Amino acid sequence: MKKYEIVIIGGGPAGLTCALSAKNTYPDKKIVLIRKEMKPMIPCGIPYVFHTLEEVSDNVLPDTPLNANNIEIINNEATDRKDHTLILADNTEIKFEKLIIATGSKAVMPKIEGADKENVFLVKKYKEYLKIMKSRIQEANKIVILGGGYIGVEVADELIKEKKDVTVIEMMDSLLQSMDNEFGEKVKEILINQGGKVITGKSVQKILGDAKVNGVELNDNTTIDCDLLIVSVGYKPNLDLAEKFGLNFEEGKGIMVDSYLRTSVKDIFAIGDCAAKYDFFTGEFSNIMLASTAMAEGRLVGSNLYSIKVIRQYPGVLGSFSTKIGKTAFAVSGIIEKRAKDRLLDYTVGVANAVDRHPGKLPGASEVTVKLIFSTYSHTLMGAQISGGDSVGEMINIMSVMILNKMTDTDINNLQIGTHPLLTASPVVYPIINATTDAIKKWYKNQNK
Amino acid sequence: MKKYEIVIIGGGPAGLTCALSAKNTYPDKKIVLIRKEMKPMIPCGIPYVFHTLEEVSDNVLPDTPLNANNIEIINNEATDRKDHTLILADNTEIKFEKLIIATGSKAVMPKIEGADKENVFLVKKYKEYLKIMKSRIQEANKIVILGGGYIGVEVADELIKEKKDVTVIEMMDSLLQSMDNEFGEKVKEILINQGGKVITGKSVQKILGDAKVNGVELNDNTTIDCDLLIVSVGYKPNLDLAEKFGLNFEEGKGIMVDSYLRTSVKDIFAIGDCAAKYDFFTGEFSNIMLASTAMAEGRLVGSNLYSIKVIRQYPGVLGSFSTKIGKTAFAVSGIIEKRAKDRLLDYTVGVANAVDRHPGKLPGASEVTVKLIFSTYSHTLMGAQISGGDSVGEMINIMSVMILNKMTDTDINNLQIGTHPLLTASPVVYPIINATTDAIKKWYKNQNK
């Protein structure tokens, strides 16, 4: 029987980060990472294997940090557990002191007639699956993408650039439902300007074709022809091991964990997409699955395996993400307006537009839009949305740090921010500050009513 | 006699922001901005008028926001004050309730023999001066820049791109003294690779030539020929009005102000480069002059003219700035290592390198280096330095917000950060977090000694 002190199951970002964090905190412990895949994918890089990256293998999550830190890798599948012993698919037994489950999530196939036809693909995370999918895409011409969330629109953007005839179908009334509709409308416009087609507010009721897909039938009974269908309607926590290991879990929500990601069984932790998540603002279950959250959990658990050294700093999932469609970047952190409305949070909105170089004649300038949601009474920043040039990818993190620190409108209004003509908006129009000023003006106006 | 409720003297970023902030807070007050210049310059855009921008007039700070907010502009010079009445150069009298002085700073000419020769220029902020300077630069071939601070190296970068034979002379042992030497060394390397020359650790003792400069003599008695000399060794607060108005001030430091930028005379405020500044960490006088600080002060005063509505959120000048030399951006916020050492602050350094796209094969990838300074005992982040691609300009603001919020190493280690393949580093190697991890590892190591 093999013996390790720390055993991690799952080779994605959560498992990798947890392994590295554990090594930093407990340098003398023997650590192993067990994973099914020989070559795990970078999850958020997957859409880019279809056009921007030449090969699927260009998107492999490198083993370099694991090797450099003497963390062993076993390519195998965990199938069962007896107390502090893990059993692998080949019946190898592995003894552990601490076990971390980081088995991620699975792409969801909705119940639609014909979903089993050839050339119907999910956006799965496996290299060999993606290689087949890429070669079929290359042979195809007309492609339908079912689901206009961020993965759906990223794949659409790639396939349009690959010169395919692409139609995105989204059930809701706008694309990119994780942002407010005005941002989803921009995404739609970009996809259409690039030659794509977008259908919103309609669902697919049937996948057509004989052995192979040749079209989809919408809920208004119209049909759209296609040679290939990509279904991207969401992911659900992978709970296979939770059941086998006797851990508390909730279907569709994840393995139950406390604030330190400890499961119902002593010495077993769950992190990343497979662990249940709670919303930062309301404490409800959250179905947001992001590598950034997974890795924050991985780092926390890696530091706290034998005792709680690091007090948990985040009281829930903030949900910070960014993407780029065409030449425009989009990003969100915290609550969006439609959710604030739905969950009955009193809010004041501030909006600002600016050019992200100054003077605007400087090269590389893009128009940036910032939308902020403040708590009307508490004045704290609750959410931020932004579209613009590439620097949006880091601007959203400024606002994540603001939300996490419960900064108020006046805190932000007095901020000392670094700006530079060639790199940022002018300090006069710096959009995070100006959107805050806009919210303050609205607040004053409402007070005087 | 004209009457305004709020009078602002100075048309730079501080005055402009203060005017807009005052209008937001006191929409019914009559506001006027008095300035010497018909067309004020965007201060940080000035280096770029020499090459990147076609015309000096492309760098004018637009009046649009003032006009849109019904803020009057008077192009004139304030020369004296009697109680609540201001006297202009043409003897116009203007009555005010609240007066804000935002007269900025002046470029310093060090005492060097020959400083009055033709073709010796300072980097002044006046449009007409800059137009003459630009035309002389166009005629010149060999140009010496005295001073390797950020303005000196920005101008050098521009003039090298303009195909001039450029030599930068810096008295200290490395360029860009506002950052640690390893960053200054990178700047030096970039300027040299582009064809520039850099001399460090030497000063200029004499400016040579008859009527017109034809060279400089260094303190080792060697000489360097040139057709034009640009002196960029710093700025000092413009205290002309402080003296005339009877306000307390300290030579070289600025007009004395309290936390709300109130001067020693009731109803008179001073903001921006002309107001004394205090260091965020030590409370000493600070000679850091940045548009971002000036504007934070402008916004604060604009909101607090008739009563303190907004409690001051920043206890001193953080000093956040960014620049771009060649294709590499540099940025700093808070304390740097050499200053921490000099001012006896116990510190732990963390460093990380990463590629700012993931996988690194994606287009637009640059190498990013982050250096963080933490308080060893308090664990709070005290300073950040960074070099890399364009997004560095916004990454530094993430760290400014972290410093302002007194975030600790473990706060940052557990951060939920948004990342995206096309926009940022991978979450696995996200350099702000990994530099923090590096500092934590060093802290552990030192604890176990």
- Characterise B62 by phi-psi region: left (phi > 0), alpha (psi -120 to 50), beta (else): beta
The letter for the amino acid at A35 is R
**Chain A contact set for B313 (CB, 8 A):** 410-411, 414-415
Q: What is the mean pLDDT of chain B?
A: 95
Q: How confident is the model at residue A310 (pLDDT cuts 50, 70, 90)?
A: confident
Beta pairing, strands A72-75 & B120-122: unpaired
Q: Do B414 and A310 touch (CB under 8 A)?
A: yes
**Chain A contact set for B411 (CB, 8 A):** 313
Mark which residues 420-449 of B lie under 8 Å from A by CB: 420-424, 426-429, 433, 437, 440-441, 444
At B182-206, the pLDDT tens digits run 999 999 999 999 999 999 999 999 9
Mark which residues 375-414 of A lie under 8 Å from B by CB: 390-398, 400-402, 404-405, 407, 410-411, 413-414
Burial (CB < 10 A; 0-12, 13-18, 19+), residue A60, is middle
Residue of A nearest to B59 (CA): A359
Q: How far is CA A112 from CA A147, A205, A217, A290, A376, in A?
A: 13, 6, 10, 27, 44
CA B90 to chain centre: 33
d(CA B6, CA A81): 75
Give the best residue of B55, B300, B422, B447 to mutate against chain A (max A CB count within 10 A). B422
Phi/psi at A250 (nearest 5 deg)? -125, 130
At B334-350, the pLDDT tens digits run 999 999 999 999 999 99
Instruction: Supply the Cα-derived Rg of chain A in whole angstroms.
Output: 23
**Chain A contact set for B433 (CB, 8 A):** 299
Q: Taking a C-beta distance cutoff of 8 angstroms, is the pair B177, B153 a contact?
A: no
Q: Which residue has the tokens 């190697």?
A: B429
- Chain B: nearest CA to A386, how far in angstroms? 13
Q: Taking a C-beta distance cutoff of 8 angstroms, is the pair B34, B93 a contact?
A: no
Q: How confident is the model at residue A314 (pLDDT cuts 50, 70, 90)?
A: low
d(CA A280, CA A292): 14
Q: How confident is the model at residue B428 (pLDDT cuts 50, 70, 90)?
A: confident
Q: How confident is the model at residue B365 (pLDDT cuts 50, 70, 90)?
A: confident
**Chain A contact set for B427 (CB, 8 A):** 13, 17, 291-292, 295
ipTM of the complex: 0.93
**Chain B contact set for A407 (CB, 8 A):** 401, 405
d(CA B323, CA B45): 11
Beta pairing, strands A213-218 & A204-209: antiparallel
* Secondary structure (DSSP) of A195-249: T-EEEES--EEEEEESSBEEEEEETTS-EEE-SEEEE-S-EEE--HHHHHTT--E
d(CA B436, CA B373): 9
Residue A52's nearest CA partner among A40, A44, A62, A64 is A44
The letter for the amino acid at B313 is Q
Q: Is the fold of A2-106+236-303 the same as that of A120-233?
A: yes
Note every long-range contact of B245-248, with CB atoms under 8 Å and residues 24 or more positions apart, other chains counting.
Answer: B245/B80, B245/B81, B245/B101, B246/B81, B247/B101
Q: How far is CA B170 from CA A92, B188, B197, B283, in A?
A: 66, 11, 11, 28
Instruction: Flag whether pLDDT at A397 surpasses 90.
Output: yes
- Residue B402: per-residue pLDDT: 97
Q: Which residue has the tokens 């960490």?
A: B281
At B225-281, the pLDDT tens digits run 999 999 999 999 999 999 999 999 999 899 999 999 999 999 999 999 999 999 998
Q: Which strands sit side by side in the sheet containing B204-209, from one edge to the other?
A: B204-209, B213-218, B223-225
Does B293 contact chain A (CB < 8 Å)? yes
Q: Which residue has the tokens 């893990």?
A: A86
- Residue B362: per-residue pLDDT: 81
Beta pairing, strands B85-88 & B78-82: antiparallel
Dump strand ranges (E) for B219-362: 223-225, 228-231, 235-237, 249-250, 254-255, 268-270, 277-278, 285-286, 321-325, 328-334, 347-355
Q: Do B322 and A424 touch (CB under 8 A)?
A: yes
- Residue A196: per-residue pLDDT: 98
Does B79 contact chain A (CB < 8 Å)? no
What is the enclosing helix (H) or strand (E) of B73? strand B72-75
The letter for the amino acid at A14 is A
First to last CA, chain A: 74
- Residue A53: per-residue pLDDT: 94
The CATH number, out of the four listed (3.50.50.60, 3.40.50.2300, 2.60.120.10, 3.90.245.10), of the domain defined by the range A120-233: 3.50.50.60
Q: Taking a C-beta distance cutoff of 8 angstroms, is the pair B255, B249 a contact?
A: yes
Does A16 contact chain B (CB < 8 Å)? yes
Which residues contact residue B437 at a Cβ distance below 8 angstroms, ignoring those fewer than 6 apart? A21, A24, A299, B350, B352, B413
**Chain B contact set for A291 (CB, 8 A):** 419, 427
For residue B292 the two structure tokens come to 């971002």
Q: Taking a C-beta distance cutoff of 8 angstroms, is the pair B243, B103 a contact?
A: no
Nearest to B400 among A52, A329, A416 (CB): A416
Nearest to A427 among B53, B295, B363 (CB): B295
**Chain B contact set for A421 (CB, 8 A):** 42, 44-45, 48
The letter for the amino acid at A393 is G
- Residue B314: per-residue pLDDT: 59
Nearest to B323 among A296, A420, A437 (CB): A420
Return the CATH number of the domain spanning residue range B327-447.
3.30.390.30
| Domain map (residue ranges) of chain B | 2-106+236-303, 120-233, 327-447
- Residue B388: per-residue pLDDT: 97
Instruction: Flag whether pLDDT at A313 surpasses 70.
Output: no
Q: Do A391 and B391 touch (CB under 8 A)?
A: yes
Q: Do B321 and A420 touch (CB under 8 A)?
A: yes
At A138-175, the pLDDT tens digits run 999 999 999 999 999 999 999 999 999 999 999 999 99
At B26-76, the pLDDT tens digits run 999 999 999 999 999 999 999 999 999 999 999 999 999 999 999 999 999
Instruction: Flag whether pLDDT at A25 surpasses 70.
Output: yes
Q: How confident is the model at residue B445 (pLDDT cuts 50, 70, 90)?
A: confident
According to CATH, the topology of domain A2-106+236-303 is FAD/NAD(P)-binding domain (3.50.50)
Which residues contact residue B389 at a Cβ distance below 8 angstroms, ignoring those fewer than 6 apart? B328, B329, B356, B364, B365, B366, B368
Residue B163 or residue A252, greater confidence: B163
Q: Taking a C-beta distance cutoff of 8 angstroms, is the pair B164, B140 a contact?
A: yes
